């Protein structure tokens, strides 16, 4: 890899096929799958059609978990409760449970029941999400268990909802004059919902909003630094998963025509999580596979074990548990990863709209102060990590921030980038006082950064990782993304990401997974990601660490080029050879305090600096 090598034309996605034989596209494989599903009811006995109905309903819930747990990294045991919300809302409204006089105009229509169920679920998910999504680590799954149990008991203790004995008289759904009053007739509707859910989920994941959701797995600090509103992204994905579960509940209620609380309890919430994880938690098609495998497995165990053992008991639960452990141990990425390897599907390169260009920010006048620290102090208990630090960074210069280990450079970096708030003092970005504002606000005012410990999404392509950096330059929201109405916006974002990759010399790697690059290349990738935001201030945390000599020279050339374009660059670095030959000015820290500042040659001979680095030699 060389930064200075001429930019190459965007290479097509690397072919994964072993030979010249053409592989069918994903669309073609999807069409075959849909065709097989379509003929299912004509070929299969009624029992299996019915089983496929239940697999479809479970798939819809597992799809939501693919977004929530597999993609955004939030584990939920409570999805069955949202299934219950959808089922009970339509059950109450369509079964006449409210009585003829109350809301009589609403009753009898399952379609109104669907709309009402989605609305009720939306409001409930918003309320529950506001309370629980702030939790992190193991508190969040525990929170989902808590509200899952609460809703379950609510269903069982309300007389309006029929208590433990449940609600009957739920009518069949009527579609174009046809009553869907049998499992075979419901089959089409259920699988239409599943396919629509799978396709829209996949579309969403391949979009700006989807990347924002996926960025959550890289940690909130990284996502916010890219301008992603992490609280909103968490809420969006939580509500989407809840709505998919609610739609599944609506289908379930009108398939069964009777509901009681038991299928909406914690036990089922755990099953849905198993389906998602066993199938492959981060794969949309894995959700369908997981739902199929677990539903069929449970059915077989229930039928076969009593016959094999000659007596009944809860043996199927024990065998099921053991099988789950075996499957999870032998395929931690889920069963879909095994199937995907066997499927002869061609890799798809994302469409990059080379002709389109994103609008650019006007850079501040060269020489003007763009980032300033005024008497910044940061205390951690009794320890003063930054002590009344002053620092000015100007447009069109490279400023180095150096100091021995523990001097307080990273802490200063955090104050300057909004990751942390000074105990006292001010940070000004382009003249605006940024005190108390988070890193997202810094990003939207034109500050981009890299991380001391590389923070990338290793499974995602290099191109998509860089596109996360351009998040604030795109506009398409969740719904346009789900229905692929965002292609212009998306093509332009990817083109910008491709341009930045070529600019830093990683053009040839853009379709590879980011995790497959060497550490030095990953650091350069982070710089491309920061540049994709079109910044006026670039903060680099030890960018030369792990780079070979040639790579360092190439990085130096790139930074000089950025300086010539008028960017303000601040770098924290330990590599003195790299720093001295590159920066315009230096600020030296020791024990949290600024001990010297000036031109590199002045600082090099400063007695305080020699004392700090060499113990006064
Ligand atoms: N979150 C924190 N809580 C408590 N102490 C902290 C915290 N962050 C940093 N410190 C302390 O502040 C001091 C400065 O640490 P900092 O990481 O900023 O130094 P540094 O110059 O970046 O060091 P290095 O070059 O080794 O990365 C250290 O004594 C460190 O232990």
Domain-embedded: residue 549? yes
Residue 17: pLDDT above 60?
no
Domain-embedded: residue 1? no
Examine the domain organization and report whether 335 and 396 are in the same domain. no
Is ligand 1 within 6 A of the CB of residue 387?
A: no
Examine the domain organization and report whether 256 and 322 are in the same domain. yes
Which range has the worst mean pLDDT, 18-22, 58-62, 576-580, 611-615? 18-22
Residue 292, domain extent: 26-342
Examine the domain organization and report whether 45 and 116 are in the same domain. yes
Domain-embedded: residue 352? no
Is ligand 1 within 6 A of the CB of residue 411?
A: yes
Closest C-alpha to ligand 1, atom 23: 406
Examine the domain organization and report whether 335 and 425 are in the same domain. no
Residue 23: pLDDT above 80?
no
Kindly report the CATH number assigned to the domain that includes residue 469.
3.40.50.300
The structure's pTM equals: 0.87
Domain-embedded: residue 17? no
Rounded Cα gap, residues 316 and 304, in angstroms = 9
Examine the domain organization and report whether 328 and 435 are in the same domain. no
pLDDT bucket at 177, cuts 50 / 70 / 90: confident
Residue 194: pLDDT above 80?
yes
What per-residue confidence (pLDDT) applies to 107?
Answer: 56
What per-residue confidence (pLDDT) applies to 54?
Answer: 97
What per-residue confidence (pLDDT) applies to 19?
Answer: 45
Closest C-alpha to ligand 1, atom 24: 405
Is ligand 1 within 6 A of the CB of residue 185?
A: no
Is ligand 1 within 6 A of the CB of residue 383?
A: yes
Q: What is the pLDDT of residues 83-95, one digit of tens each?
A: 999 999 999 998 8
What per-residue confidence (pLDDT) applies to 25?
Answer: 73
Closest C-alpha to ligand 1, atom 10: 385
Residue 134: pLDDT above 90?
no
Rounded Cα gap, residues 617 and 605, in angstroms = 11
Examine the domain organization and report whether 279 and 379 are in the same domain. no
Is ligand 1 within 6 A of the CB of residue 403?
A: yes
Q: Which of residues 325, 342, 359 is at a domain's end?
A: 342
Residue 221: pLDDT above 50?
yes
What per-residue confidence (pLDDT) applies to 21?
Answer: 56
Domain-embedded: residue 541? yes
Mean pLDDT of the 161-182 span: 90
Examine the domain organization and report whether 393 and 253 are in the same domain. no
Predicted complex ipTM: 0.96
Is ligand 1 within 6 A of the CB of residue 404?
A: no
Q: In what order do the strands lie in the sheet with 447-449?
A: 447-449, 537-541, 568-572, 398-402, 585-590, 593-598
Q: Which of residues 342, 360, 390 is at a domain's end?
A: 342
Is ligand 1 within 6 A of the CB of residue 380?
A: yes
Mean pLDDT of the 234-241 span: 96
Mean pLDDT of the 41-65 span: 95
Q: What percent of the chain shows pLDDT beyond 90?
A: 64
Q: In what order do the strands lie in the sheet with 432-433?
A: 383-394, 369-380, 424-429, 432-433
Vertex 482: Cα angle to 248 and 461 (nearest 5): 115
Residue 436: both structure tokens together = 């108390």
Strands 537-541 and 568-572 come out as: parallel
What per-residue confidence (pLDDT) applies to 1?
Answer: 38
| 264: DSSP letter | G
Which range has the worst mean pLDDT, 7-16, 139-148, 351-360, 368-377? 7-16
What per-residue confidence (pLDDT) applies to 95?
Answer: 85
Mean pLDDT of the 402-406 span: 91
Taking Cα atoms as reference points, which of 415, 449, 430, 433 lies closest to residue 533?
449
Closest C-alpha to ligand 1, atom 7: 380
- Answer for the pair 592, 391: CB distance below 8 angstroms, yes or no: no
Examine the domain organization and report whether 279 and 141 are in the same domain. yes
Distance 604 CA to ligand 1 centre (A): 24
Is ligand 1 within 6 A of the CB of residue 593?
A: no
Taking Cα atoms as reference points, which of 286, 501, 344 lies closest to residue 16?
344
Residue 100: pLDDT above 70?
no
Rounded Cα gap, residues 218 and 73, in angstroms = 9
Is ligand 1 within 6 A of the CB of residue 378?
A: no
Examine the domain organization and report whether 330 and 383 are in the same domain. no
Closest C-alpha to ligand 1, atom 11: 385
Q: What is the pLDDT of residues 492-547, one digit of tens each?
A: 999 999 999 999 989 999 999 999 998 889 999 999 999 999 999 999 999 998 88
Burial category of 86 from C-beta neighbours within 10 Å (exposed 0-12, middle 13-18, buried 19 and up):
buried
Distance 541 CA to ligand 1 centre (A): 14
Taking Cα atoms as reference points, which of 123, 57, 117, 70 lies closest to residue 268?
57
Q: What is the pLDDT of residues 413-430, one digit of tens each?
A: 999 999 999 999 999 999
Domain-embedded: residue 146? yes
First to last CA, the chain: 39
Taking Cα atoms as reference points, which of 547, 552, 584, 548 lies closest to residue 569?
584
pLDDT bucket at 106, cuts 50 / 70 / 90: low
Q: What percent of the chain shows pLDDT beyond 70?
A: 93
Q: What is the pLDDT of residues 367-396, one digit of tens each?
A: 999 999 999 999 999 899 999 999 999 999
Residue 177: both structure tokens together = 């004059």
Residue 381: both structure tokens together = 């208990």
Residue 334: pLDDT above 80?
yes
- Answer for the pair 454, 523: CB distance below 8 angstroms, yes or no: yes
Taking Cα atoms as reference points, which of 49, 47, 27 lies closest to residue 38?
49
Closest C-alpha to ligand 1, atom 3: 380
Rounded Cα gap, residues 416 and 71, in angstroms = 30
């Amino acid at each position: 890899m060389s930064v200075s090598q001429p930019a190459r034309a965007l290479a097509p996605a690397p072919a994964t096929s072993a030979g010249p034989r053409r592989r069918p596209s994903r669309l073609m494989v999807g069409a075959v799958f849909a065709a097989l599903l379509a003929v299912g009811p004509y070929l299969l006995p009624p029992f299996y059609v019915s089983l496929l109905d239940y697999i479809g309903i479970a798939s819809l819930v597992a799809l939501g978990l693919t977004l929530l747990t597999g993609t955004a990294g939030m584990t939920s045991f409570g999805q069955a409760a949202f299934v219950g919300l959808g089922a009970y809302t339509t059950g109450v409204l369509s079964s006449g449970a409210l009585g003829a006089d109350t809301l009589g105009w609403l009753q009898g229509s399952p379609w109104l029941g669907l709309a009402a169920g989605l609305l009720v679920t939306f409001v409930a998910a918003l309320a529950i999400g506001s309370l629980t999504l702030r939790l992190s680590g193991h508190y969040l799954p525990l929170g989902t268990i808590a509200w899952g149990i609460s809703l379950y008991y609510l269903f069982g203790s309300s007389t309006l909802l029929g208590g433990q004995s449940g609600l009957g008289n739920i009518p069949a759904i009527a579609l174009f004059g046809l009553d869907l009053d049998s499992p075979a007739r419901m089959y089409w509707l259920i699988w239409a919902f599943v396919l629509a859910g799978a396709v829209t989920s996949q579309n969403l994941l391949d979009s700006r909003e989807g990347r924002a959701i996926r960025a959550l797995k890289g940690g909130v600090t990284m996502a916010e630094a890219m301008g992603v509103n992490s609280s909103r992204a968490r809420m969006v994905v939580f509500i989407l998963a809840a709505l998919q579960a609610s739609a599944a509940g609506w289908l379930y209620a009108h398939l069964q025509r009777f509901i009681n609380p038991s299928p909406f309890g914690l036990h089922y919430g755990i099953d849905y999580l198993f389906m998602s994880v066993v199938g492959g938690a981060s794969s949309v098609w894995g959700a369908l596979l997981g739902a199929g495998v677990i539903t069929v497995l449970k059915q077989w165990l229930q039928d076969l074990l009593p016959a094999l053992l000659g007596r009944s008991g809860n043996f199927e639960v024990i065998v099921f548990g053991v099988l789950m452990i075996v499957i999870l141990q032998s395929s931690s990425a889920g069963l879909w990863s095994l199937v995907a390897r066997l499927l002869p599907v061609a890799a798809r390169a994302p469409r990059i709209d080379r002709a389109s260009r994103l609008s650019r920010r006007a850079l501040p006048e060269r020489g003007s102060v763009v980032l300033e620290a005024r008497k910044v102090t940061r205390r951690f208990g009794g320890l003063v990590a930054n002590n009344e630090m002053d620092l000015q960074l100007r447009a069109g210069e490279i400023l180095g921030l150096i100091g021995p280990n523990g001097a307080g450079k990273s802490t200063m970096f955090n104050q300057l980038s909004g990751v942390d708030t000074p105990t006292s003092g001010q940070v000004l970005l382009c003249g605006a006082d940024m005190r108390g504002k988070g890193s997202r606000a810094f990003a939207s005012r034109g500050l981009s950064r890299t991380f001391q410990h590389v923070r990338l999404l290793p499974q995602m392509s290099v191109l998509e990782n860089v596109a996360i950096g351009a998040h604030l330059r795109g506009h398409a929201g969740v719904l346009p993304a789900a229905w692929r109405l965002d292609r212009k916006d998306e093509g332009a974002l990817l083109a910008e990401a491709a341009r930045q990759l070529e600019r830093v010399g990683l053009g040839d790697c853009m379709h590879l997974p980011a995790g497959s690059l060497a550490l030095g290349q990953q650091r350069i990738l982070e710089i491309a990601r920061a540049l994709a935001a079109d910044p006026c201030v670039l903060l680099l945390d030890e960018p030369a660490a792990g780079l070979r000599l040639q790579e360092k020279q190439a990085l130096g050339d790139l930074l000089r080029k950025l300086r010539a374009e008028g960017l303000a660059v601040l770098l924290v670095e330990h590599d003195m050879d790299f720093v001295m030959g590159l920066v315009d000015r230096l600020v030296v820290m020791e024990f949290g305090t600024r001990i010297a500042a000036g031109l590199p040659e002045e600082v090099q001979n400063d007695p305080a600096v020699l004392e700090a680095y060499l113990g006064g030699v």
